[in-house]
Amino acid sequence: MRGRRMLRMATWGRELRARLWRPGVREEVEHELAFHLEMRTRQFLDQGMTPAAARDEALRRMGDVERVAGVCRSLADAREQTIRRAGILDEMRQDLRAALRQFTRDRAVALVAVLTLALGVGANATMFSIVDRFLLHPLAHVRDADRVVELADAWRVQGNDVVQRSFPYAAFRAFQERLSAAKSVAMMTNPIDVPLGRGADAQDVHGSLVSASFFPLLGVHPALGRFFAPDEDRLPEGTPVVVVSYGLWRPILGGGPSALGARLELGSRTYTVIGVTPKGFTGPTLGAVDVWIPVTAAGDLRFVNGPDWATSRTSTWLRVFARLEPGVSRERLAAEATAINLESGEPRMATMHTTIDALPLIASLRDMRGTSARVAVLLGALSVLVVLIACANLANLLIARALRRRREIAVRVALGISRGRLVRQLLVEAGVLALLGGCAALLVAWWGSSAARTLLFGDVQWTRGLVDWHVLLYTLGIALASGVLAGLAPALQFSRPHIADALKAGAREGGQYRSAIRTVLLVAQAALSVILLVGAGLFVLSLHAVSTLPIGMQPDRVLLATMDLLKTGWSAADADALFTRMAERVRALPGIQSAAVAVTVPGVATWGVDLTVPGRDSLPQPEGGGPFINAVQPGYFATMGTRILRGRDFTDADGAAGAPVVIVNQTLAHAAWPGEDPIGKCVRLGDASTPCVTVVGVAENSRRQNWIEEPIFLLHVPLAQAPAYMQQRLLVVRPRGSHPELAIAAVRSAMQTTAADLPFANVQPMMSLYDAELRPWRLGAAMLGAFGVLAGLLVAAGLYGVISFTTTQRTQEIGVRLALGARSSQVLELVMREGLALAAAGGIVGVIVALAGARFIEPLLFHVSPREVAVYGAALGVLGVVATIATLAPAWRAAHVDPATALRSE
């Protein structure tokens, strides 16, 4: 009996201890084993054993106590972790259900928050998809891209640095044979238009001429078949084989193994398909390439032809790449390449000090896009400001929500909820909003990426979809981070409420509550919006300045039509006659104002010429270079929109049998005959022994290659009197109306049906030649303008919400003012002054920050100061209008409140 009583007492003590004090797992296991050992020992004592014998027998009966203790601890730990995990998951489910119930009751707040995040994060994700392609992983399938360099010829002319990424074929061979610092050397041409097929099925594809070492140097492996063997790229004539891109293989060749051995008619030759590049491969450039052809087998597709194309060192037309040997620096390779170039090259002018630079491949890619790439990076950085504005707006929204829930939060705290649990609940609510906003932002990013890619770089090969997993993770990550960041402010601020104050009834006590965080956030939003508006204004002025440059032509009203007849085997005489017939057919089309044949146009190609002016020993060299020559049909100047300032245009009488005549541009006329009438003057296209050519007209200055360039010397001769080396022909067409692209289909059909089995007629707006050059300012103006409008809307929404909330909280105060005799106009002024003061503070901060960062944006502007006073004034004016509109509605409501109703409000 005594043993049973002691056992019951020990059991009651154990239960009491467990209820009053919660031990850890290890202590609980030790107490449990000690209890069992004590109970066993007492049983053996009751049987008459001595204490020592009873304890020994109890230990023997229990076995290995340490092992049992370890097993028990493991089981207890696992059970406790399971319980803890289940508890956490249960709490998260409760928090999630509570958040969804809150948003179901307050749908307007949830909708505004989701839209705010969708617009802000979506705009940022759009720019991320662009920057991701150009800067983060621009080279697909290139192995160890950091070991690949591009050679560039650099020299100084009249004190200016000139960098040229093109070499003659002879220079490439010299580098390939003698450059010991390079593991391998390869060459390629920039993508060119290659005629594929004839007749109705003809089309143009993008092609690049390469050396057999090109693919091995980059370390790329074929998706199907093989690449070029060294004996297929040999002088004097390589094997007519071709490697096609993955994008051409599937739609044109069926996408199967049977494509190997297929025959493709490219230009005037037929090539055998031997391999397919992997999906997304574009080589060391970002432009799309459909076919790769050995340079020695390219025939008429080469830029340079004739018997000396492989040995001439005066024609620079291909790019050279090298892979560094292990342990070799770029500086060492550049020094060795410079020595090889000087030893084997043609002597430079005395004013040039030529060296070879070894440019990192990725830096070269970024450089290649020039201003456009820098603008893309700038837009990507400024799009972060939109996210910050959205984040601040969301934080203000959540703070306003928390202010309305102060009493609810105080009740929950009074009932014993922990601060950590309360913070977690508020953050879960913000996280739910962020997740919904992130999903909506993906839709914005999908649409925005499509539009931005078209506007930014239409000629770039995009290796991923509009919203790939990079953009997906980035968008959701930014959305969640924005939500959590915005939710921290109310979570931390209201998780420790003054319970007594919060539980008091009436609006009077809560009405005096002011949130400094909300004020700071509003000022920050206004400042960021001013920065974006200033950037948009500067780019708009730059776009206007560059668009209104006097360029001596109207490319926005002209179509450019080309057909590579010479590359498809036509003789120069037959091609000339065919283009003349095409021009006649196009002129006969309804809606066509004029059309003319020319050798070239600005932006396509240039031809240099030696010029001698009788009576002048030399001519001053213009900044843009020259003299350059073009050959055109009568009507060319009217079609291009170039004015004849003096003299006359060419006529049909200026044929091959007529007297040689020429039209010069203003710069040449002023330099050759200053103060004299150039009409009737003589020039010689060559040295003093060449025949005299009579000047019959002076045309206004037009461009040679770029939209923005210095003055040049330019001459035009009749097409029938063109020098023999100018065999290429193209067609310029001027449709009626302001939308020339509407006539593209009709012009192409008229050209394509002029004769049987013609190659593809490429008809495009001439303005497309300059899109890449003008794109930085168009992009900056459009995207920053969109960012600015978005920022203005977010600021208006945030300011409206804050002023509405504060006026609601001050209803009793306003009622007292009105009851004591205040006029409605005074209340209106009081509320308006508060909103405009916040906007003014933000505007001042924004102007200061914009001025401080002006030096970063200055290189991207055109003839516009980054501190343009009018732009800053306009930005502040827009902010003022937005603030006035956002503040007026709540101010009007406050000014017309009923004093009796206001004084009774609780």
Identify the residue whose tokens are 């097993």. 71
pLDDT digits (tens, 9 = 90+) for 836-889: 898 899 999 999 999 998 888 888 888 899 999 999 999 999 999 999 998 888
Using CB atoms within 10 A of its CB, is residue 427 exposed (0-12), middle (13-18) or buried (19+)? Answer: buried
Band of residue 57 on the pLDDT scale cut at 50, 70, 90: confident
Buried b (16+ CB within 10 A) or exposed e, 336-367: bbbebbeeebeeeeeeeebbbbbbbbbebbbe
Band of residue 503 on the pLDDT scale cut at 50, 70, 90: low
pLDDT digits (tens, 9 = 90+) for 727-748: 889 999 999 988 899 999 999 9
Distance CA(897)–CA(46), nearest Å, equals 90
Q: What does DSSP assign to residue 189?
A: P
Distance CA(381)–CA(131), nearest Å, equals 10
Identify the residue whose tokens are 């010429």. 609
Contacts 24+ apart (CB under 8 A), 229-237: 232/294, 232/297, 233/294, 233/295, 233/296, 233/297, 234/296, 235/296, 235/310, 236/296, 236/310, 237/296, 237/297
- What's the rounded mean pLDDT across residues 405-432? 71
Q: Say what the pLDDT of residue 197 is.
A: 79
233-242, 307-316, 484-493: least confidently modelled range: 484-493
Q: Is a pLDDT exceeding 70 seen at residue 27?
A: no
pLDDT digits (tens, 9 = 90+) for 457-486: 666 666 666 677 777 888 888 888 888 787
Q: Say what the pLDDT of residue 510 is.
A: 40
Distance CA(392)–CA(635), nearest Å, equals 61
Q: Which residue has the higher pLDDT, 564 or 413?
A: 564
From residue 325, give the alpha-carbon distance in Å to each of 29, 221, 284: 66, 20, 19
Q: Is a pLDDT exceeding 70 seen at residue 20?
A: no
Tell me what the pLDDT averaged over the chain comes to: 81
- Is the entire prediction scored with pTM above 0.75? no
Q: Is a pLDDT exceeding 60 seen at residue 682?
A: yes
| C-beta separation of 551 from 640 below 8 A | no
Q: Is a pLDDT exceeding 70 seen at residue 691?
A: yes
Nearest CA to 782 among 545, 532, 445, 446? 532
pLDDT digits (tens, 9 = 90+) for 799-834: 887 787 777 777 777 777 777 777 888 888 888 888
Q: Which residue has the higher pLDDT, 667 or 92?
A: 667
| Paired tokens of 97 | 């259900």
Q: Say what the pLDDT of residue 595 is.
A: 95
Name residues whose C-beta falls within 8 Å of residue 296's C-beta, 6 or more positions apart in sequence: 233, 234, 235, 236, 237, 238, 310
Band of residue 88 on the pLDDT scale cut at 50, 70, 90: low
Rg of the chain, C-alpha, whole Å: 40
pLDDT digits (tens, 9 = 90+) for 340-391: 887 766 544 333 456 888 888 765 554 444 566 677 777 777 888 888 888 8
Q: φ and ψ at 681, to 5 degrees?
A: -75, 165
pLDDT digits (tens, 9 = 90+) for 890-906: 888 888 777 766 666 54
Please give, one letter per residue, the 3-state secondary structure of 533-545. HHHHHHHHHHHHH
Q: Is a pLDDT exceeding 50 seen at residue 152?
A: yes
Q: Is a pLDDT exceeding 60 seen at residue 10?
A: no
Q: How many CA atoms are closer than 13 Å to the CA of 213, on its beta-carbon side?
A: 17
Distance CA(471)–CA(473), nearest Å, equals 6
Nearest CA to 790 among 100, 36, 122? 122
Name the pairing type of β-strands 693-699 and 661-665: parallel
Nearest CA to 461 among 246, 225, 301? 246
Q: Say what the pLDDT of residue 569 is.
A: 76
Please give, one letter per residue, the 3-state secondary structure of 391-410. HHHHHHHHHHHHHHCHHHHH
Q: What percent of the chain has pLDDT over 90?
A: 28
Q: Say what the pLDDT of residue 4 is.
A: 53
Band of residue 665 on the pLDDT scale cut at 50, 70, 90: very high
Q: Say what the pLDDT of residue 587 is.
A: 95
Q: How many CB atoms lie within 10 A of CB 774?
A: 17
Q: What does DSSP assign to residue 591?
A: T
| Paired tokens of 194 | 């290659």
Q: Which residue has the higher pLDDT, 273 or 341?
A: 273
Identify the residue whose tokens are 């915005």. 486
Distance CA(696)–CA(680), nearest Å, equals 6
Q: Which residue has the higher pLDDT, 771 or 878?
A: 878
Residue 195, H or E segment:
strand 192-196
69-78, 178-187, 473-482, 492-501: least confidently modelled range: 492-501
| C-beta separation of 692 from 684 below 8 A | yes
Identify the residue whose tokens are 């089995």. 757
pLDDT digits (tens, 9 = 90+) for 613-649: 888 877 887 877 778 999 999 999 999 999 999 999 9
Q: Is a pLDDT exceeding 60 seen at residue 159?
A: no
Distance CA(289)–CA(806), nearest Å, equals 61
How wide is the angle at C-alpha 471 spanned by C-alphas 366 and 370, nearest 5°?
15
Nearest CA to 861 among 452, 530, 528, 543? 543
Distance CA(421)–CA(415), nearest Å, equals 13
Band of residue 716 on the pLDDT scale cut at 50, 70, 90: very high
Q: Say what the pLDDT of residue 157 is.
A: 45
Residue 266, H or E segment:
strand 263-266
Name residues whose C-beta falls within 8 Å of residue 411's C-beta, 6 or more positions apart in sequence: 503
Q: How many CB atoms lie within 10 A of CB 540?
A: 19
DSSP character string of 15-59: HHHHHH----HHHHHHHHHHHHHHHHHHHHHHTT--HHHHHHHHH
Q: Say what the pLDDT of residue 514 is.
A: 47
Q: Say what the pLDDT of residue 24 is.
A: 55
Can you say how many angstroms the Cα of residue 830 is from the centroid of all Cα atoms in its chain?
45
Q: Is a pLDDT exceeding 90 seen at residue 584?
A: yes
